[in-house]
Amino acid sequence: MKRRINQQRLLPACAALAAAVLLAACGGSSHKSSTVNATNASSSSGSSSAVLTVESSQQNAITQNFNPFVQSSAATLLGATSLVYEPLLQTNAIKPGQYYNWLATGYTWSNGGKSITFTIRPGVKWSNGSPMTAADVAFTFNLLKQYADANTTGLAVKSASSSGNQVTINFPSPQYANLQNIAGQTYIVPESIWSKVGDPGKYADPKPVGTGPYTVSQFSSQGITLKANPTYWGGKPAVGTVQFPTYASANTALAALQTDQLHWGGNFIPGVQQVYVGGHASHHVWFPPVQTNSLEPNLTKFPTNQLAVRKAISLAIDRTALSQQAEGGIEPAVSNASGLTLPIFQQFLSPSVQNMTLNTHSDIAGAKQVLQQAGYVLGSDGLFRTKSGQKLTIDITNPSSFSDYATGDQLVAGWLRQAGIDAHFVGQSVTAWSSDLATGNFQMTAHWSQTSVSPYQLYNDWLNSAQATSNAAGDFERLKDPNVDAQLNKLAADNSVAGQQKDVAPIEQYVAQNLPIIPTVYGVVFDEYNTGKFTGWPSEGNPYESGSPNAPTNEVVILRLRPAS
């Protein structure tokens, strides 16, 4: 199964602290150098003729759009964005405390966390040969301030300015816990081009110019081909060509994996040890746990905007069955109603919610009781209606090609029908589903959470109303609660573990009591890779990255790969 297509999420740094908290907890208010080299590309003897094929998301035919700010662009959906456009920082999604300076070589917080100053790497060029400067970085953040539909992470940018090789970004409130979105999820674009496109959320970006290790060689309805950028600041990549073909289904992607046509995939594969790994010395998998999966109800549509209905849904679903039957036992049932990813964030689980557990098996009787107590009337057909006769009907939408989610959605729909809710699974293409999520054109969907450096990132992605734009990359359920937003701001402003533990408690309670999302299973990164053609892959024994083929951190992996022979 795919994880959020445009955003490879990050795990805790410095003993489960946010990367921003790492500043205070690990001794200092600035980072001048990374503990790990930014890339290993420069150690290569030059670009090879070897072709790496990557599958980040199952797709049908695509249209030419490389816009890094559009959730439904082909580059975003296929995971190709970060090989052309780059962030200021990259963070290891697995190994605590490890981060990578990228377009920035360091950063410093000031003004009580309301300002951050980045030192921009010298000698970086855009792929058209012009220099990348701090002015381009400042322009990018001011662009996000001006155009909400391009500001997919909901950054509250007050202003951004550059001086020499430094850029300072100012915010109306402290942002210690938001470094991931500021530096790791924002792609930098050239002012010389993007200042002329108008609304960046409506620009197709047919000829992208970036700082990344690759440039676009071919763009067709069947995929994207990238060629190594010979003037890349990190050195010429050892992998000469990277292909992102379209695969219409998990089965077609699996067939390509089995026959070594696809070298790196990110799918849920039933019986993966038997159908992919077994008997093939070069076939490997790694599934590190990083997320909380959930049902995300649209809070603007009936009946999922009704708390009693959401409570009934939570009671009706069998999380153990979802884990075993839909996810092959790889992803365990969520145990706590707060949705906090455990055990990663165990130290942040408030005592006030420790006993707010979720049922691991279906409680149909309990679900019916909740609906009856809320005033819904059970008809002779076994379905609940409002007193005015409106039936409780829910369409659960997900891509048909996401086989684990499709299976899970059908199971959920069956349990809900037993509980008196007329629920059905509706399969879509990945493109249509992604577009509907971004615009709010859905009723309920299964989705993964942000792989986060702190509880702030997890809950901000789920609940921050600033993200609920016409091009949403978070808060898909369209929650708009000023009290929750205020508490998120308070959490972002705290750079101590004790403070974050206190500030996150009301948010955990809100999720447990109001179910704006309905937690189901703990998600993993699905990583299938082939060592027959390339070496240098991350693994449990070498966890320099999560192994996800999604952007932005797939760039870190690709720059570490070397031809096997």
DSSP output for 178-228: GHIIIIIS-----HHHHTTSSSGGG---SS---SSSEEEEEEETTEEEEEE
Give residue 562's pLDDT band: very low, low, confident or very high (50, 70, 90): very high
Q: Of 58-72, 484-498, 506-520, 538-552, where does the model show the most confidence? A: 506-520
Which pLDDT belongs to residue 379? 97
Give residue 23's pLDDT band: very low, low, confident or very high (50, 70, 90): very low
- Phi and psi torsions of 216, nearest 5°: -80, 120
Tell me whether residue 265 is in a domain.
Answer: no
Does residue 498 sit in the same domain as residue 478?
Answer: yes
Best CA proximity match to 78, nearest among 188, 203, 232, 223: 223
Are 297 and 542 in contact by the 8 Å Cβ rule? The answer is no
Number of domains in the chain: 2
In this predicted model, what pLDDT tens digit does every residue of 259-288 receive, in sequence order? Answer: 999 999 998 898 999 999 999 999 999 998
Does residue 171 sit in the same domain as residue 189?
Answer: yes
Tell me whether residue 398 is in a domain.
Answer: yes
Mean pLDDT of 548-559: 95
Site of tokens 């974050």: 500
Cα separation, 452 vs 361, whole angstroms: 28
In this predicted structure, the answer to whether residue 9 has a pLDDT above a threshold of 50 is: no
Tell me whether residue 252 is in a domain.
Answer: no
Minimum mean pLDDT range among 23-32, 132-141, 297-306, 405-414:
23-32
More confident residue, 44 or 378: 378
Does residue 508 sit in the same domain as residue 556?
Answer: no
Best CA proximity match to 175, nearest among 267, 238, 110: 110
Does residue 407 sit in the same domain as residue 543?
Answer: no
Are 497 and 454 in contact by the 8 Å Cβ rule? The answer is no
Q: Determine the residue type at 535.
A: T
Read off the tokens for 53.
């094929």
Torsion of CA 333, 338, 341, 347, to 10 degrees: -130
Which pLDDT belongs to residue 30? 56
Are 394 and 421 in contact by the 8 Å Cβ rule? The answer is yes
Cα separation, 528 vs 278, whole angstroms: 13
Which pLDDT belongs to residue 7? 35
Question: What is the Cα Rg of the chain in Å?
Answer: 23
Which pLDDT belongs to residue 35? 36
Between β-strands 264-265 and 51-55, what pairing exists: parallel, antiparallel or unpaired? parallel
Q: What is the mean pLDDT of the chain?
A: 90
Does residue 539 sit in the same domain as residue 474?
Answer: no
Strand partners, 244: 224
Read off the tokens for 91.
């963070």
In this predicted structure, the answer to whether residue 343 has a pLDDT above a threshold of 90 is: no
If one counts every other C-beta atom within 10 angstroms of the C-beta of residue 464, the result is 23
Read off the tokens for 146.
């001006």
Site of tokens 């005033």: 375
- The CATH number of whichever domain residue 453 belongs to comes to 3.10.105.10
Tell me whether residue 243 is in a domain.
Answer: no
Which pLDDT belongs to residue 145? 97
Cα separation, 558 vs 500, whole angstroms: 35
Best CA proximity match to 155, nearest among 562, 522, 457: 457
Does residue 474 sit in the same domain as residue 535?
Answer: no
Does residue 543 sit in the same domain as residue 474?
Answer: no
Q: Determine the residue type at 296.
A: E
Mean pLDDT of 459-473: 92
Does residue 193 sit in the same domain as residue 329?
Answer: no
In this predicted structure, the answer to whether residue 98 has a pLDDT above a threshold of 90 is: no
Cα separation, 305 vs 491, whole angstroms: 26
In this predicted structure, the answer to whether residue 21 has a pLDDT above a threshold of 80 is: no
Which pLDDT belongs to residue 549? 95
In this predicted structure, the answer to whether residue 1 has a pLDDT above a threshold of 50 is: no
Does residue 385 sit in the same domain as residue 426?
Answer: yes
- Phi and psi torsions of 173, nearest 5°: -145, 160
In this predicted structure, the answer to whether residue 15 has a pLDDT above a threshold of 50 is: no
Read off the tokens for 427.
């399969």
Give residue 550's pLDDT band: very low, low, confident or very high (50, 70, 90): very high
Three-state secondary structure of 371-420? HHHCCCEECCCCCEECCCCCECEEEEEEECCCHHHHHHHHHHHHHHHHCC
Which pLDDT belongs to residue 39? 61
Which pLDDT belongs to residue 14? 31
Does residue 297 sit in the same domain as residue 174?
Answer: no
Site of tokens 């697995």: 94
Best CA proximity match to 214, nearest among 199, 205, 227: 227
In this predicted structure, the answer to whether residue 447 has a pLDDT above a threshold of 80 is: yes
Which pLDDT belongs to residue 302? 98
Mean pLDDT of 135-159: 95
Tell me whether residue 260 is in a domain.
Answer: no
Structural domain of residue 429, as residue ranges? 289-524
Mean pLDDT of 178-187: 92
Which pLDDT belongs to residue 13? 31
Per-residue b or e along 424-437, where b marks 16 or more CB atoms closer than 10 Å to that residue's CB: ebebbbbbebbbbb
Strand partners, 403: none
Give residue 177's pLDDT band: very low, low, confident or very high (50, 70, 90): confident
Does residue 462 sit in the same domain as residue 552?
Answer: no
pTM for this one?
0.81
Which pLDDT belongs to residue 47? 53
Tell me whether residue 247 is in a domain.
Answer: no
In this predicted structure, the answer to whether residue 17 has a pLDDT above a threshold of 50 is: no
Does residue 433 sit in the same domain as residue 533?
Answer: no
Q: Which residues, other chains included, contact 78 with Cβ-Cβ below 8 Å and sequence gap of 6+? A: 56, 57, 59, 62, 223, 224, 244, 246
In this predicted structure, the answer to whether residue 114 has a pLDDT above a threshold of 60 is: yes
- The CATH number of whichever domain residue 182 belongs to comes to 3.90.76.10
Tell me whether residue 268 is in a domain.
Answer: no
Tell me whether residue 122 is in a domain.
Answer: yes
17 alpha carbon, distance to own chain's centre:
19
The string of DSSP letters for 17-42 reads: B-HHHHHHHTS-SEE-S-SS-S-SGG
More confident residue, 300 or 8: 300
- Rounded to 10 deg, the angle between the 497-514 and 455-463 helix axes is 40
